Amino acid sequence: MSIKNIFKCIGSDNTTVSDEILDKLGVSFEVANKDSKKMAELSRELKRDMGIVYCIVPFCHTAEADAFGSTVVFDSKAGNRINQSFVKDVESLESIDPIDFSTGRIHEILESIKELKDAGEKVCLNVTGPITIATAIVDNRLFYKLVRKDREVVDKLLGKIEESLVEYITKGVNAGVDIISFADPAGTLDIVGPKVYEDLSGKSTLRVFKRVEGVLGDSVVHICGKTSTSLEESGLINSRKVSSHGNSYGEVIENYKSEDGDVKFIGHWCIKREKNDKSLVCCDLL
């Protein structure tokens, strides 16, 4: 297993929003992260401003950890970040419940998808991978101490996270999302190392993918290039290059979806970057 072949990411995990756009909409960035209608408005404005195919929600990778109980600082310039982890000791791990999708920011995100689809938009749902969520709801040092000394506790925590991710993706699909952008920035092979990736991170992500594969319908999961190449280096997926057409990467994806209704997972690239050719990399789960 080599980390040399891991995709080099040059993008940011967060969306930067200018004061001009927020002033135009007459909304604060925090409100736009918490109210479905304002979220949809900002997503539409960002789509127009960036000249992209998809309206993207949410605007960061903190939504799931927020729903699990961690606190978030909303920052339109530096990006949203976790301010305080929900769990700081082993005893508190038992208090972690699966995500309640009927309330809070994560509920508003799902509602914003419906708002956008009703307006005729194509929608991309940002979904965060299990290790990034785990290290955002549990103090980082505690989490990796448990990885070394109490895997049963870690496996139980990841089980709750995986269950919630499967439900989140399923609800996104049911709301009409066109594409799920899946990234696990804190859980890639080059970050956690070969042993933790092979034993923990990669397998957790693969379990989520296998459970949602049958419910995707017309939706496609776009796997962050770092995550997809980590999975392939670990022997958990195979990849194959295909060609399509379009004036942008998003258009190429949408055109290939209409040409090949069986495509479920795409990877080895960044959804925020353009490509010089008209190719995609399809990923097959093993």
* Average pLDDT of adjacent 10-residue blocks, the chain of 286 residues: 78 79 96 98 96 96 96 94 90 90 98 98 98 95 94 95 98 98 96 95 98 96 97 97 94 92 92 91 97
Distance CA(167)–CA(165), nearest Å, equals: 5
Q: What is the pTM of this model?
A: 0.96
At residue 108, the pLDDT reads 98
Would you list the DSSP string of 50-72? HT-S-EEESSSS-HHHHHHT-EE
Helices (H), the chain: 19-25, 29-34, 36-50, 63-68, 104-118, 130-137, 140-149, 151-175, 189-192, 194-196, 202-212, 225-233, 249-259
The b-or-e profile of 59-77 (16+ CB within 10 A means b, else e) is bbbbbbbbbbbbebebebe
pLDDT given at position 91: 85
Distance of CA 34 to CAs 8, 40, 110, 175, Å? 32, 11, 11, 18
Tell me how far the alpha carbon of residue 58 is from its chain's centroid: 9
Residue 201 DSSP one-character state: I
Determine the distance from the C-alpha atom of residue 99 to the mean position of all C-alpha atoms in its chain, rounded to a whole number: 16
Question: Which pLDDT score, from 0 to 100, does residue 262 have?
Answer: 84
